[in-house]
Amino acid sequence: MDTAKLESFILEKMSKTRIPSISIAIVKGDSVVYSRAFGFRDIEKGLYATPNTIYGIGSVTKSFTALAILKLVEEGKLDLEDPIEKYVPLDIKPFGESIRIHHLLTHTSGIPALAYAEAYIRGVLGLDRVWLPLATPEDVISFMRDAHQWIASRPGERFFYLNEGYVLLGYIISKISGMRYEDYVKKYILEPLEMRRTYFFEEEVRRDLDVATPYIVDREGKHIPSRFPYGITADGGLLSNAMDMARYLSMLINRGLFRDKTIIDSKYIDLMERKYIDVPFKIFGDEGYGYGLIVTEKFFDKKLIHHSGSVLVYTAFMGYIPSEKLGVVVLANALGYPLSYIGMYALALALGHDPEKELEFIKRDRILNRLEGIYETYKGTHRVTIKHQGDFLFIIYRDKYTEYSIPLIPEEIREDYAKFYTLSAGRKIYAEFYIEKERVMAFYERYRMVKVSGLT
């Protein structure tokens, strides 16, 4: 694998989006074949990150919760078709039908997101006016009492990503096992996998000497030290490191086996990796949701299993290709460039492909970056800024007193030509870019413009 190419790509994206640090590990079979960290786990103290640095993994936690549920199924203590009211004091039956364990695992309860996690995280981090102090799963159950008013479909019909559903799964694990959810996961998953530096609680993290400071990157690109939103855990509360997560990946890749231990029978790993429902967010076009995992079969015609996670101040990505016994985990201590893109870039390289030429989202990102810059009309009579943000371009105009921003929505993107549109007074207006080796020329509304410089 061309590790130099991967490292250059990571550093480039960190620099552009101002991510303080990234840790990455690549697993092949039972072995970590590559591990590396970049940047600072603590900018103020000048402490560099390592592959052992602790980060929050966000919703990658959901696969641990799914695995714990399947452990209880394996033990005969639970059935995936059990109605949730059997265990949870919550009377919600979409269109008169019971929500079952399977529906919570696959986000197909029929309840659209209630956004408890968004409100909780932003409140704890001081980012929003909303204050939603839900400290326990019981609090979330109380919060959900009126969720029957929010029902949108019958159970099993439609995908609605529901953090609250995974909180309920954690509650069910506690009720059936007689243990705290966190203790069950630690005893039956973390300890057998020797994930000794994977934590749920602040007091554990405080004792660790290699923890990434969580950061918010503000509008000006400044790094603001923040905190992890400790609290409810089953939907996104784990903190781990690349080397511990490599052990978890190895177990999944090896169908429930870790070294000489069977964590769970392989048939339950197969259940986790099955597509049960289409998801609305697609890169390859065929993505579906399994149990705590997203599944595509079009990653270079191979099956890729993956999930991302974010608690705003930490982000994570885990992905693996079962047929190749190949996996990757990427962790960071701020929002920025999508870690899923970095992880898939690494997997593409490990498979012998050129991600710059063969991954469409990488090619598109490169082209959009090329279009960024300062553009001028004839003899500099009018000047605008073209800014790339996410999947869009924005035309930004500023004068002494005013500023406006026009979103450009992509319609066609090629290496030599790109076409976008926007709306103005109900009319569709196109912006076209002609991309040459030495210059970029644009047509928008009445104007012909030439890129005269990049962004500083």
CATH number of domain containing 428 = 2.40.128.210
Residues sharing a CB contact under 8 Å with residue 178, sequence separation 6 or more, in sequence order:
none
Domain match, 345 and 370 both: no
Range of the domain at 135: 3-353
Residue length of the chain: 456
∠ Cα 315 62 334 (to 5°): 10
Which tens digits make up the pLDDT trace of 229-273? Answer: 999 899 999 999 999 999 999 999 999 999 989 999 999 999 999
Report how far residue 101's alpha carbon sits from residue 89's, in angstroms, rounded to the nearest whole number: 14
Domain match, 181 and 259 both: yes
pLDDT for 167: 98
Number of independent structural domains in the chain: 2
Domain match, 372 and 339 both: no
User: Is there a domain that residue 197 lies in?
Assistant: yes
User: Is there a domain that residue 360 lies in?
Assistant: no
Domain match, 50 and 198 both: yes
Which tens digits make up the pLDDT trace of 200-240? Answer: 999 999 999 999 999 999 988 999 999 999 998 999 999 99
Task: Determine how many CB atoms are found less than 10 A away from the CB of residue 240.
Answer: 26
The token pair at 377 is 């009309």
User: Is there a domain that residue 193 lies in?
Assistant: yes
pTM (2 decimals)?
0.93
Which tens digits make up the pLDDT trace of 184-197? Answer: 999 999 999 999 99
CATH number of domain containing 191 = 3.40.710.10
User: Is there a domain that residue 359 lies in?
Assistant: no
